Amino acid sequence: MASSDIITGQFVRISQTPASVGERIVARIIDIVLLVVYLISTATVLVYSQLLNDDITRYLSLLVIYLPAAFYSFLCEMFNHGQSLGKYIMKIRVVQVDGSSPSMGSLLLRWVLILIDIYFNCIGLVFIICTKKHQRLGDLAAGTMVIEIADYRKMHISLDEFYYARRDYKPVYSEAQQLSVGQIDVIKKALYGTQYYNIPQIDALSAKVKKFLGIQPKSTDNVKFLTTILHDYQYYAMELI
């Protein structure tokens, strides 16, 4: 199955592979079996106990038993890093499509829409099969997806490509932190967008960056200056992770 790479605003590479239809089905079956075992076990204990003698105790007991079962997937995924017990066994998990951890709101929306995904002619299975990232209706609405943990790299950094991430790297311009992601993208395109440098463009961009940041480097090499600014920005961005 094809994996997808995401580069975040902090220039962190995330590699993730959507869980297959089979993995998700098996995980769901495991969850259902566990829920059935739980409900039968607790119901059996109640039948042979003295807790069902009056209506109030009976209703409270049923509430304590069935409420966690009803919210099972939401609670597990909320407190177990996007994994129900079935997902844990199958080594898959729920994440946001950008690779970040899902919010409580996203997980709650997934849980609400599971009623539509499962009980309306299994429409969720159709969406999982037909969508590129194998997302059911709840995933599409919540902006989430289910991925394989084996390929989950939340903060996978290639030091060959990002050598500024080394501990011994010393930033030159602290002012680089003032730049926005959009401005950094312009610098990257100027430096790496073509095979050969457009020197007039490099010089003009360098002058704008110097004026914006209020700095005057000793070196007259504008390519080196912009490259240093880029690496310094990325170094400080890495410190936020």
Domain's final residue, options 102, 129, 154: 154
Q: Read off the pLDDT of each residue in 107-132 and give the average, rounded to a whole number.
A: 83
Domain's final residue, options 91, 125, 154: 154
Are 78 and 186 in the same domain?
A: no
Q: Read off the pLDDT of each residue in 56-73 and give the average, rounded to a whole number.
A: 82
List Cβ neighbours of 124 (8 Å cut-off, separation of 6 or more): 114, 116, 117, 118, 136, 137, 138
Are 171 and 213 in the same domain?
A: yes
Are 115 and 57 in the same domain?
A: yes
Q: Read off the pLDDT of each residue in 41-48 and give the average, rounded to a whole number.
A: 80
pLDDT tens digits, residue range 140-163? 999 999 988 865 444 333 433 455
Question: Taking the alpha carbons of 84, 90, 95, 97 in that order, is the dihedral positive or negative?
Answer: negative
pLDDT band at 114 (very low <50, low <70, confident <90, very high): confident
In this structure, of 43-57, 62-76, 85-99, 103-117, the range with the lowest mean pLDDT score is 43-57
Check residue 137 and give left, alpha or beta (phi > 0: left; psi -120 to 50: alpha): alpha
Are 173 and 132 in the same domain?
A: no
Three-state DSSP state, 131:
coil
Domain's final residue, options 100, 124, 154: 154
Closest CA to 27 of 115, 104, 96, 92: 92
Does residue 164 register a pLDDT over 60? no
Its domain, for residue 231, covers 163-239
Number of domains in the chain: 2
Are 19 and 85 in the same domain?
A: yes
